[in-house]
Chain A
Amino acid sequence: MNVTAARLGYLTCHACGLLHRASGHAHGLFCTRCGAALHTRKRDSVARAWALLIAAYVLIVPANVLPVMVSGSLFGSESDTIMSGVAFLWSDGSWLLAAILFIASIAVPFAKLLAMTFLLVSVQRRSTLAPEQRTRLYRVLEFVGRWSMIDIYVAAILTALVQFGGLMSIQAGPGAIAFGSVVVLTMFAAESFDPRLIWDPVEPHGR
């Protein structure tokens, strides 16, 4: 059995790193040095993660249905959803680009949502199954988070660059906002999730 701070009755300040002795209260503790809130586990971690995740689930629908980019030119305007962009690149022969776009903009966000759901469910069920793999999954999740924003980056850059009045202009569509929200929400969800919860059922800290 490993020794953990919680089991020994200690608390670290997440802000300044000062170690405290935990008092009888589990909540409402503050650092004596910097005044930051102290807690053995993140507060309401699972509930927050669920709330953000559900919001992300809701918004991923318009993110994929509504146009991400509206490009207007002399000869009419055209609006593209993420999927139509992938399809266009694929039919155009740029399979590599299509694959990148597909992975970054469709596969990864969905995978993140599913992975997050899996982690939350397993934590709530106090599952003891493969905690190491689940922790690794969480690390990957956290790392990958910001990279699924490339679609939004592309749209933002093009919107800023391609503005030639009536000749040609590109606007970000409503789908881009939804998609960005999905990415941000999943990042927050991953942030609010406490990976130590994975290990709690495996190594109960005695209380």
Chain B
Amino acid sequence: MADRPEPGAPDLPEAVAVPRRRFAPQLIWLVPIVAVLVGGWLAVKAVLERGPVITITFKTAEGLEAGKTKIKYKDVEIGVVKTVSLSPDRKGVVATAELSKEAESFLVEDTRFFVVRPRVTAGGVSGLGTLLAGPYIGIDIGKSKQTRRDFVGLEVAPMVASDQPGRRFILRAGELGSIDVGTPIFFRKVSVGQVITEELDKGGTGVTFTIFVNNPYDQYITPSTRFWNASGIDVSLGAAGLEIRTESLVSILVGGIAFEAAPDTGPEPPAAANTEFMLFLSRAEAFRTPDRVVDTSLLVFDGSVRGLSVGAPLDFRGVTIGEVVKIGVAVDPKTFAFTMPVLVKLFPERLAGRQFIGTKATVSESPAVRLSRVKQLIDKGLRAQLRSGNLLTGQLYVALDFFPDAPKVKSDLTAKKPPEIPTIPGTFEELQNNLANVVKKLDKLQIEEIGADTRKLIASLDETLKSVDTLLQGADTLVKRVDSDLMPDLRRALDTAGRALDTAGATLNSANAVLASESPLQSDLRQTLMEVNRTLAAIRALADSLERHPESLIRGKQGAASP
């Protein structure tokens, strides 16, 4: 080419030629190889990391977004919702989610899924983060070994994760009160757990709560622990003044349940999980001695039971040992005699004296033994009596007491069910009866006859009075006669009597002179008496010395022999 002459470009330099290396690997092909390696590695990784796909059925897809909604365990993302579609029966939605590889072992029979949404409960606020980031699906991993791929999601997050240490217990109450899911449980005012479910019993007779008590505190729940509703403020006015009890500010606002071991119980093993307890309405009620043994008895009253109501106390000398359960009327079809049967509940444990002794006294005897004891008591005079509890309202209560004077009753307790305890009329009733008897007796008196008799009596009295009058007139004439006939003789007799009295007076004067204190007779007598006195003293001395030294009678006085 160089030899070819070119017009207009005469002396162009010749390019320098350098011999080419024979082997020149085309390095550029490394680039696609690296790219393929990287891409292949990513693809393999993606396939290897591919986790299980599960379906979760929810009632509503509120907040669920395909491709966006995460599945998180302890706030670690373990999966994402891929699709959200309606379930075939259109009753819910089915979310299909892809989980990461390590979540494979989480998918067991009792694993629960739930949508975490912002929630404000009694215990506090949860899921605030989901307000902005949107809800996510939470997971509570079960303990089962059986794997599962289709789940039914819960509508609300469970209050307690299954791996949270602690125990569940069951409380039964008559009514819900102010207790709600999330209501805190207090132990000595420390919040130790919460209510996790509330449910109406099947028969509608009560409410059942499931509570969860966190781990270090669940050991304080023993079989004899009492639970009570600690909601609000408990104000009581007692002998000690106004007393206000409350658990915490939270419990005032949202309610609460408190528990405490029953008094007078020694150390006990902690209660097993899912033990059932009663939920009492108040602390006072919770700590009332429970009556585990209940006997029923029948009391038959003859009189009116007006003022006696169901629930009225059965009182033994001031201690309530039972209550009235039922009040009825019974009639004997032959005689039409009405009686008032009253059914009562008796708590024999209250008679066992456990309140005083403080030990765990149990009425361990069989009902038959208790019955025979009641029979003994009845033989000793145990009777039931209606007494007035309140004079103003006329409320009655049943008193059990001993009336040794009460008429003996032949009672066969085993024959009837429930056994019958004999009754005697009440004090008021007795008074009423006595008054009625008096009135009845008064009624029986034949007052009209009495009147007639009285009239007759008065007539005869009239006649008598008349005869008395004549009698008096006769007496009058008699007196007059006496006055005129007897008076002179009488005066004479009186004169002689006066003279006799004068001589008697002189005689007495001379006697007086003899007996005067300075008279010789008197002084002689006094001297004689003094002599006698001294003699007697000497005799006493002799007697004394003889008593001390009886031997002196024989040997003579020792002291005199040797002075």
Q: Residues on A close to B: CB < 8 A?
A: 8-11, 18-25, 27-33, 38, 44, 47-48, 51-52, 54-56, 58-59, 61-62, 65-66, 73-77, 84, 174, 178, 181, 185, 192
Q: Considering the complex, which residues of chain B in the window 5-55 have a beta carbon less than 8 Å from any beta carbon of chain A?
A: 6, 9, 12-20, 26, 28-29, 31-32, 34-36, 38-39, 42-43, 46
Task: Report B-chain residues with C-beta under 8 Å of the C-beta of A56.
Answer: 35
Task: Report A-chain residues with C-beta under 8 Å of the C-beta of B35.
Answer: 54-56, 58-59, 181, 185
Binds A, one of B126-134, B173-181, B370-378, B536-544: B126-134
Task: Report A-chain residues with C-beta under 8 Å of the C-beta of B131.
Answer: 75
Given contacts A75-B130, A76-B133, contact A32 B15 (CB under 8 A): yes
Task: Report B-chain residues with C-beta under 8 Å of the C-beta of A65.
Answer: 46
- Cβ of B511 within 8 Å of any chain A Cβ, yes or no, is no
User: Is there contact, CB below 8 Å, between B32 and A30?
Assistant: no
Cα–Cα, bound, A30→B14 (Å): 9
- Cβ of B2 within 8 Å of any chain A Cβ, yes or no, is yes
Count, chain B residues at interface, CB 8 A: 36
Query: Which residue on A lies nearest to B37, using beta carbons?
Result: A58
- Cβ of B4 within 8 Å of any chain A Cβ, yes or no, is yes
Interface pairs A-B: 5 shortest CB-CB: A75-B133, A55-B35, A29-B15, A54-B32, A9-B1
Q: Residues on B close to A: CB < 8 A?
A: 1-2, 4, 6, 9, 12-20, 26, 28-29, 31-32, 34-36, 38-39, 42-43, 46, 67, 70, 77, 129-133, 136
Cα–Cα, bound, A59→B130 (Å): 36
Contacts A28-B19, A59-B38, A76-B129 supplied; 12 other A-B pairs, CB < 8 Å: A10-B9, A21-B13, A21-B14, A51-B31, A52-B32, A54-B35, A55-B34, A58-B35, A58-B39, A59-B39, A62-B39, A65-B46
Cα–Cα, bound, A19→B8 (Å): 13
User: Is there contact, CB below 8 Å, between B132 and A22?
Assistant: no
Shortest CB-to-CB span from B74 to chain A, Å, is 13
Shortest CB-to-CB span from A179 to chain B, Å, is 13
Cα–Cα, bound, A204→B13 (Å): 25
Cα–Cα, bound, A27→B34 (Å): 29
Shortest CB-to-CB span from B137 to chain A, Å, is 12
Task: Report A-chain residues with C-beta under 8 Å of the C-beta of B31.
Answer: 51-52, 55, 185
Shortest CB-to-CB span from B489 to chain A, Å, is 152
User: Is there contact, CB below 8 Å, between B28 and A47?
Assistant: yes
User: Is there contact, CB below 8 Å, between A31 and B132?
Assistant: no
Cα–Cα, bound, A87→B449 (Å): 124
Which of B4, B16, B131 has the most CB atoms of chain A within a 10 A radius of its CB? B16
User: Is there contact, CB below 8 Å, between B29 and A20?
Assistant: no
> A76 is contacted by which of B13, B32, B46, B136 (Cβ under 8 Å)?
B136
Query: Which residue on B lies nearest to A22, using beta carbons?
Result: B1
User: Is there contact, CB below 8 Å, between A23 and B133?
Assistant: no
Task: Report A-chain residues with C-beta under 8 Å of the C-beta of B9.
Answer: 10, 19
Task: Report A-chain residues with C-beta under 8 Å of the C-beta of B70.
Answer: 76
Task: Report B-chain residues with C-beta under 8 Å of the C-beta of A29.
Answer: 15-18
User: Is there contact, CB below 8 Å, between A58 and B36?
Assistant: yes
User: Is there contact, CB below 8 Å, between B2 and A23?
Assistant: yes
Cα–Cα, bound, A88→B168 (Å): 46
Shortest CB-to-CB span from B38 to chain A, Å, is 7
Shortest CB-to-CB span from B28 to chain A, Å, is 4
> B18 is contacted by which of A9, A28, A58, A62 (Cβ under 8 Å)?
A28
Query: Which residue on B lies nearest to A192, using beta carbons?
Result: B28
> B129 is contacted by which of A18, A54, A75 (Cβ under 8 Å)?
A75
Which of B19, B28, B29, B42 has the most CB atoms of chain A within a 10 A radius of its CB? B28
Task: Report B-chain residues with C-beta under 8 Å of the C-beta of A33.
Answer: 13
Task: Report B-chain residues with C-beta under 8 Å of the C-beta of A18.
Answer: 13
User: Is there contact, CB below 8 Å, between A52 and B15?
Assistant: no
User: Would you mind naming 19 contact pairs between A and B with Cβ atoms under 8 Å apart?
Assistant: A10-B6, A20-B15, A21-B1, A21-B12, A23-B14, A23-B15, A24-B17, A30-B17, A31-B16, A32-B16, A44-B28, A48-B26, A55-B31, A55-B34, A55-B35, A58-B32, A73-B133, A76-B129, A178-B38
User: Is there contact, CB below 8 Å, between B14 and A32?
Assistant: yes
Shortest CB-to-CB span from B48 to chain A, Å, is 15
Cα–Cα, bound, A58→B35 (Å): 6
User: Is there contact, CB below 8 Å, between B28 and A48?
Assistant: yes
Task: Report B-chain residues with C-beta under 8 Å of the C-beta of A28.
Answer: 17-20
